[in-house]
């Protein structure tokens, strides 16, 4: 299998290079593709990155360990689709109306806060370096195992990073997104194809005939309660599994972090006007991806009980294309996440820090060179982290998604809720960030190493850190906004919202229609993802309206998941097309000034002056 896998990966790399060479853009469009990325490419890339950000390998491994309760979290993609729908259009409009080229610039200038720019850059770094490095490290391990040591882990990591770097450095942002789109379509075909092939040809019955081989204390096809009063992972073993009703809801909430990551937001902001957001949210994420993960996830996870390399070997013994296809599935998803997050991180650092503040006034050609050098440094750092510090990458990387979720109030303020103030956002971010830190390994390790043992572990009460943080974050935002919602700052923010209201009003319909839309979504979320999902444990196997048992042939919870997936898609569709939330146009755009784009924050400016003055004195 090793030569065939190598040839296939080499072919994909060559194809990426070919596209990058043809896409080589003008210097000025290197970092943002001239904000004219084709809608289809953005759609496919965004959908692919959703799966990649989840970590397909991790998701399958979790299903193998916890059964259908872990698979249930895939329904959270519908929640992520809704979030993308709500934010992307207004953010795109803000970018065009106010000349804001990146998510950091948008938040920074809207709230007049350099701190928010720095927070967004920190998030970009978290996603672009440790989060991506953690995935790359797993990829290295997979390749080493699959090739039985022919490709050592470190070599696999460096070679992969190099071949992800090449398209980005040659063709810039456009080439990166085109390659991502190509890989996403491959992923969409391979996922059902390999699951179907394995189900049809591997020996022995698969899921659902055979239950998921989980540990005896884990409920394979049920949700283990609405909540469990556990101190958290690392402190206490949760009976039945960690994905309780609130566990699933909070994990689903953490998936919003992918949508709120700087790279994903930047992808949407650089899209050409059109219907790409609608297509991405409704058809690709809510309909296709969620369905594929819910159906194919358990089928593949059961066959992966001995590990992914073992399944690849079994498939390869029957048909080499199937074995390599399965490995490609895992490899390509990882490559997509690394490629998007690291490339966007380098581009954002270059365009938001280096070019405006450190090397201002560069010509487009030199600016492109600067971005290329930043790309090289970022990819080298990712590879180094993945190869030499996998544990640190995993620990720091675990913060990326829950911290990104903490940006939700800030982004809602920019896009819809004009009364959210800068101070509210900043205080909320501090509280939310701290809570995330202390419910994830990094904070726990640091605090317990330096001081005393904390009484809680990771995700106490089976609630994901993203939800812990967001609860406190939102509480702080709501409370502080009450006292700070008016003033000069508000007048500045109103400029953008007045333009939204006058020209780009979102029409949720009449009052009953509006109420129906939001009520149905909340009811759906309660039963699909929230505490109501517990009913799915027995709803289809022991119906409440009869005394007898029903024999559906599949676990009741699986039927419940598929049922709410099928209901969720029309809901997203209704919101998207009814309110025109996913459609953008450049007709009638009017410029709104939102302050100076290039003024350096005082502390950066004074630091630069201090360093440059000293160097003059030394001479």
Partner 1 sequence: MSSEDESTAMLDRHALVLAFWLPAGFVALGLLHYGFGPGGAWWVAAGFAALLAGFVAHVIVNTVLGTTFTAREAGLGMVLYAIGMVVLVLAVLLGDGFATRFFLPVAGGMIALLLAVVFYMLTRFGTRDAFDKFDIIRNNNPRRASRLIRGGRR
Which residue lies nearer to partner 1 by CB, 188 or 408?
A: 188
Count of H-run helices and E-run strands, the chain: 26, 0
Least Å distance, CB 43 to partner 1, is 11
**Which one of residues 10, 14, 26, 28 is an interface residue with partner 1 (CB under 8 A)?**
26
C-alpha neighbours within 13 Å on the C-beta side of residue 573? 10
The reply on whether position 167 binds partner 1 by CB under 8 A is: no
The reply on whether position 504 binds partner 1 by CB under 8 A is: no
Q: What's the CA gap between 23 and 435, in Å, rounded?
A: 44
Least Å distance, CB 143 to partner 1, is 19
The reply on whether position 22 binds partner 1 by CB under 8 A is: yes
Q: Which of 407, 108, 392, 436 is nearest to 264 (CA)?
A: 407
Which residue lies nearer to partner 1 by CB, 10 or 377?
A: 10
∠ CA 215-76-230, rounded to 5°: 45
Least Å distance, CB 167 to partner 1, is 12
Number of shown-chain residues binding partner 1 (CB under 8 A): 26
Least Å distance, CB 400 to partner 1, is 28
Q: Which of 551, 535, 458 is nearest to 208 (CA)?
A: 551
**Which one of residues 319, 498, 507, 549 is an interface residue with partner 1 (CB under 8 A)?**
319
Binding segment for partner 1 (CB under 8 A), chosen from 313-321, 409-417, 422-430, 577-585, is: 313-321
Least Å distance, CB 21 to partner 1, is 10
Which residue lies nearer to partner 1 by CB, 19 or 496?
A: 19
SS (H, E, C) 232-283: CECCCCCCECCCCHHHHHHHHHHHHHHHCCHHHHHHHHCECCCCHHHHHHHH
- Is residue 176 a contact partner of residue 340, using CB atoms and an 8 Å limit? yes
Phi, psi of 231 (to 5 degrees): -75, -15
SS3 31: coil
Least Å distance, CB 45 to partner 1, is 10
Count CB neighbours of 115 within 10 A: 16
The reply on whether position 17 binds partner 1 by CB under 8 A is: no
| Backbone Cα Rg of the chain | 24
The site map against partner 1 for 173-202 (x = CB under 8 A) is -----x--xx-xxx-xxx--x---------
Least Å distance, CB 149 to partner 1, is 26
DSSP assignment of 143-203, as one string?
HHHHTTTSS-HHHHHHHHHHHHHHHHHHHHHHHHHHHHHHHHHHHHHHHHHHHHHHHHHSS
Which residue lies nearer to partner 1 by CB, 33 or 474?
A: 33
Considering only residues 320 to 379 of the shown chain, the ones binding partner 1 according to CB under 8 A are 320-322, 325
Q: Which of 91, 297, 94 is nearest to 212 (CA)?
A: 297
Question: What ranges make up the beta strands (E) of 339-386?
Answer: none
Considering only residues 39 to 58 of the shown chain, the ones binding partner 1 according to CB under 8 A are 40-41, 44
Considering only residues 554 to 573 of the shown chain, the ones binding partner 1 according to CB under 8 A are none
Termini Cα distance of the chain? 62
> Tokens standing for 240?
């039945």
Least Å distance, CB 34 to partner 1, is 9
The reply on whether position 15 binds partner 1 by CB under 8 A is: yes
Q: Which of 121, 86, 316 is nearest to 201 (CA)?
A: 316
Least Å distance, CB 267 to partner 1, is 15
The reply on whether position 168 binds partner 1 by CB under 8 A is: no
The reply on whether position 318 binds partner 1 by CB under 8 A is: yes
Least Å distance, CB 252 to partner 1, is 29
SS3 464: coil
Binding segment for partner 1 (CB under 8 A), chosen from 15-23, 203-211, 240-248, 521-529, is: 15-23
Binding segment for partner 1 (CB under 8 A), chosen from 38-46, 252-260, 457-465, 484-492, is: 38-46
The reply on whether position 36 binds partner 1 by CB under 8 A is: yes
Q: What's the CA gap between 583 and 460, in Å, rounded?
A: 40
Least Å distance, CB 295 to partner 1, is 18
Which residue lies nearer to partner 1 by CB, 36 or 494?
A: 36
Binding segment for partner 1 (CB under 8 A), chosen from 36-44, 95-103, 293-301, 469-477, is: 36-44
The CA-atom distances, in angstroms, between 590 and each of 17, 96, 271, 503 are: 39, 9, 18, 9
Binding segment for partner 1 (CB under 8 A), chosen from 22-30, 401-409, 465-473, 582-590, is: 22-30
> Tokens standing for 570?
């029309």
Which residue lies nearer to partner 1 by CB, 26 or 566?
A: 26
Which residue lies nearer to partner 1 by CB, 323 or 413?
A: 323
Residues that bind partner 1 (CB under 8 A): 15, 19, 22-23, 26, 36, 38, 40-41, 44, 178, 181-182, 184-186, 188-190, 193, 318-322, 325
């Amino acid at each position: 299998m090793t030569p065939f896998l190598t040839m296939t990966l080499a072919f994909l790399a060559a194809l990426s290079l070919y596209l990058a060479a043809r896409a080589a853009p003008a210097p000025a469009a290197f970092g943002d593709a001239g904000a004219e990325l084709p809608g289809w490419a953005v759609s496919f890339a965004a959908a692919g990155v959703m799966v990649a950000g989840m970590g397909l390998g991790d998701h399958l491994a979790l299903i193998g360990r916890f059964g259908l309760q872990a698979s249930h979290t895939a329904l959270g993609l519908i929640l992520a689709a809704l979030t993308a729908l709500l934010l992307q259009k207004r953010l795109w409009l803000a970018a065009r109306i106010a000349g804001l080229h990146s998510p950091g610039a948008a938040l920074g200038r809207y709230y007049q806060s350099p701190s928010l720019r720095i927070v967004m850059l920190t998030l970009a770094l978290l996603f672009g370096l440790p989060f991506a490095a953690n995935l790359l490290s797993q990829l290295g391990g997979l390749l080493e195992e699959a090739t039985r040591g022919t490709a050592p882990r470190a070599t696999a990591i460096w070679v992969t990073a190099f071949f992800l770097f090449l398209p980005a450095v040659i063709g810039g942002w456009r080439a990166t997104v085109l390659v991502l789109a190509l890989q996403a379509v491959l992923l969409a075909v391979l996922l059902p194809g390999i699951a179907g092939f394995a189900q049809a040809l591997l020996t022995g019955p698969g899921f659902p005939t055979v239950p998921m081989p989980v540990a005896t204390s884990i409920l394979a096809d049920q949700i283990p309660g609405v909540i469990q009063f556990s101190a958290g992972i690392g402190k206490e073993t949760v009976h039945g599994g960690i994905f309780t009703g609130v566990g699933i809801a909070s994990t689903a909430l953490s998936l919003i972090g992918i949508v709120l990551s700087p790279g994903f937001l930047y992808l949407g902001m650089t899209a050409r006007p059109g219907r790409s957001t609608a297509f991405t949210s409704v058809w690709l994420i809510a309909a296709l991806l969620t369905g594929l993960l819910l159906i194919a996830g358990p089928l593949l996870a059961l066959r992966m009980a001995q590990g992914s390399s073992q399944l690849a070997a079994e498939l390869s013994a029957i048909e080499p294309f199937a074995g390599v296809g399965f490995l490609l599935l895992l490899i390509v998803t990882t490559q997509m996440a690394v490629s998007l997050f690291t490339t966007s991180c380098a581009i954002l650092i270059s365009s938001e820090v280096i070019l405006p503040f450190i090397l201002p006034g560069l010509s487009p050609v030199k600016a492109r060179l600067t971005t290329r050098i930043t790309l090289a440094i970022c990819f080298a750092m990712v590879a180094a982290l993945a190869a030499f510090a996998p544990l640190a990458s995993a620990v720091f990387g675990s913060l990326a998604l829950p911290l990104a979720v903490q940006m939700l109030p800030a982004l809602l303020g920019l896009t819809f809720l004009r009364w959210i103030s800068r101070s509210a956002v900043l205080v909320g971010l501090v509280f939310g960030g701290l809570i995330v830190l202390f419910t994830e390994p990094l904070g726990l390790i640091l605090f317990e190493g330096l001081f005393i043992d904390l009484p809680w572990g990771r995700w106490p009460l089976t609630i994901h850190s993203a939800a812990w943080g967001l609860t406190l974050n939102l509480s702080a935002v709501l409370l502080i906004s009450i006292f700070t919602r008016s003033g000069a700052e508000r007048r500045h923010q109103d400029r953008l919202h007045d333009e939204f209201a006058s020209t780009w009003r979102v029409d949720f319909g009449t009052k009953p229609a509006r109420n129906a839309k939001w009520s149905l979504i909340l009811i759906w979320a309660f039963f699909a993802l929230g505490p109501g999902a517990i009913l799915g444990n027995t709803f289809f196997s022991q119906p409440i309206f009869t005394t007898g048992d029903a024999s559906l042939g599949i676990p009741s919870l699986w039927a419940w998941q598929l049922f709410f997936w099928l209901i969720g898609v029309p809901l997203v569709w209704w919101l998207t097309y009814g309110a025109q939330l996913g459609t953008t146009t450049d007709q009638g755009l009017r410029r709104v000034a939102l302050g100076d784009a290039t003024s350096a924050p005082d502390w950066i400016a004074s630091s630069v002056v201090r360093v440059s003055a000293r160097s003059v004195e030394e001479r």
